A and B are shown apart, each in its own frame.
Chain A
Amino acid sequence: MSIDKDKIKHVSKLARISVDEKKIDDLTKDLSSIFKFIEQLNELNTDKVEPLSSILNEPLRSRKDEINDGKIRDKILENSPKKNEEFFVVPKVIE
C-alpha cells in the first residue's frame, strides 16, 4: 500500500486534523516508511488464527446498574474552554 497526498488528506479529514500544506510532503514520506515497516506482517500466514479480543484471561466485568455518581455538572463544566451558564458553547451549527 503506497501512501500519497490524497490519502493523507482523506485520513486527516476523517481524523478532524487539518494538515499544513507545507508539511504534507514530509508526512507522506514518514507514513509511507511506517506502512512499509508494518506491512512486514503480510509475510505471516494467519488464516487459521483467531484475532485476539482481550488480553485478560477473564471476561470483562459488568457492574450493577445502579447510580453511584452524578450531580457533578458544575465540576464537568469547570474545564470547558467556553461556556454559558450550564452549557458548553460551540460555533453556530444551525443557521
Chain B
Amino acid sequence: MADLTKKSLTEIVSLIKKKEIKSEEVTNLFIKNIENDKKLNSLITNCNEHAAKKAKNFDKNPKFDTLLPGIPIAVKDLFCTKGVKTTAGSKMLDNFIPNYESTITKNLWNEGAFLLGKLNCDEYAMGSSNETSFFGNVMNPVAENTVPGGSSGGSASALAADLTPTTIGTDTGGSIRQPASFTGTVGLKPTYGLCSRWGIVAFASSLDQAGPMTKTVEDCALMLEAMAGFDEKDSTSINKKKENYSKNLTSNIKGLKIGIPKEYRVDGMPKEIDKLWENGKKILKESGAEIIDISLPNTKYALPTYYIVAPAEASSNLARYDGVKYGFRSNKGTNLIEMYENTRSEGFGDEVKRRILIGTYVLSSGYYDAYYIKAQKVRQLIKDDFDDSFKKVDAILTPSTPSAAFKIGEKKNDPISMYLNDIFTVPVNLAGIPAISIPAGTDNNNYPLGLQLIGKTLDEQKLLNIAFAAEKKINFKQNLNRWWEK
C-alpha cells in the first residue's frame, strides 16, 4: 500500500473500519515520521509510547462505530491534556502537568482517537510565525528556514509533513487559517461558542476558538463533527443540536451567492494573490454560484481594534501567572511583589510582555474609555458590516493572507509588519463568525497560498460545502521532498 501517512484522515478511517489496516500499523508509521524529523521542531512533547500502547489496545478490542476509530492525533500544546505536560509554548508553563483534560481533546478521545504528541506554537498563541515560542522556531515543510505561520505553526507544520493525520489549533486572530494557508492545508475557525474553550490555555477569551486543521475539506467536516458540542463548563458554549457535517457534505452549491468585498484588495498585495482570488471567483461561478460585489467599509479598522481588545483580555487572563499556584517561579527577590515581578519578567517572552503592557495600558484608569470602549464600539461596527452583507450573500470569498510564507527572522523586529499578516483573518474573530482557509495555488517560489471563505453564525455546513466544491476544481497538490529527514 502506498504511504499511509500521506492519505487523508477520511481514507485512513475508512481503511480501519474495513479492517484493511490496523491502528497499530498506521500509528507506527506516524511515529516513524516523527522520529525521522530532524529539523521541523514541530513537537514540544512526543507521546510515541502512549500512542503505540493505545493503538495496540484499540486493535485488541476495536470499536468501529465512532468517528475517529484508532486514530493517533497530535494537538497544539495549548490544550490541557491530563498527565501530559502542557506548555502553551512558554517557559512559564514548562513544568505544568494538568490533572484534567480539555473538553475538545476529551471529545476526540471519546470518538476513538488518542494523543500522539503536543505541538509547538507561539507563546500563549501570540504570534504569526511561531517565532515567539520558548521552545524555538518551527520550520515550514514547504521550504527550509521558512516560517509555518502562527500561532498554530507546529500544528500546520506537523500536518503538512505527515507527522499526524489531522490536528487541532486555536484561532484568536487567524492562528488556524494563516498557518493553514502557509502550509497548503485546510483550517477552520468555527463560530464563537461552537467548540468548548474549557481546558484551553486562555489568550483573549472573547476571540479564542478551537478548530480543526486537516489535509482535505472532507477531513475538516469529520473533525468539526467530533469537536463541536455544548459544554456546561464553558459559559459561552452554544447549546444546539449536533450536526453531521461529514454526512451532509455536498459540492452542490448551485444558486448560492458569494460576496467579494472590495476592501480586501490592499496596496502592495502580490499579483499572484489577486490572480488566485480571481480564479476562486471563476471556479465558484462554474459551480453554479452567483458572484456579488459587496462592501465591508470598516475592514481597515479591524486590526487596530484587535490590538486593543486582544491585549486587554490577555493582560487580564495572564494575571493568573504569579508563581504561586502553578508554573514557573523566580527565586530572585526578597518580598512577594518582587517575586511576582521577577517571575513574570523571566517567565514570559518579549512578545507576551509587550502585549500584557499594551493591555494593561488600555485598561488603566484614565485610558479605558479612549481605547477599550472605543475599540468595542468599532467592533460593533465591524460586526454590523458582516450582518448587513449576510442579508445579501451566503458566504464571502477573500484571500487568506496578504503574502505567502516568509523567511525566519524576516519580520521579527517589526511588530506592525508581523501583525499585518492577520489583516484578512482578524475581522472574522471580532465578529464571532466562522471562516475556512483552503489551499488554492502557489506564489512564484512555489509556496502555497490560501483562499478564505467566511460564513454567517453557525453556517459551518454551507461553508464546508462551498469549500468542498472549490477544492475539487482547484485540485491543489502538495509535492514535498521531505528535506527535514535528511
Contacts and interface: CB of A to CB of B under 8 A. Distances in A.
B475 interface: no
Interface residues of A, number: 52
Interface residues of B, number: 70
A51 B376 contact: yes
A27 to B, nearest CB: 7
Interface in B368-403: 370-371, 373-381, 383
A88 B308 contact: no
B328 interface: yes
Nearest to A63: B232
B358 interface: yes
Interface in B286-340: 298, 300-301, 303-305, 307-308, 315, 319, 322-329, 333-340
Contacts of A37: 303-304, 307, 416, 419
B357 A41 contact: no
B379 A11 contact: no
Contacts of A39: 304
A56 B431 contact: no
B356 A79 contact: no
Contact of A46 (B308, B341, B374): B374
B327 to A, nearest CB: 7
B446 interface: no
Contacts of A92: 335
A67 interface: no
Interface stretch (B49-57, B124-132, B342-350): B342-350
Nearest to B361: A11
Nearest to A43: B301
A79 B327 CA distance: 7
Contacts of B339: 90-91
Interface of B: 95-97, 99, 192-193, 206, 232, 235-236, 238-239, 298, 300-301, 303-305, 307-308, 315, 319, 322-329, 333-342, 344-345, 348, 350, 353-354, 356-358, 360-361, 364, 370-371, 373-381, 383, 415-416, 419, 431-432, 457
8 contacts: A7-B361, A15-B344, A34-B415, A38-B308, A41-B308, A49-B381, A79-B97, A88-B325
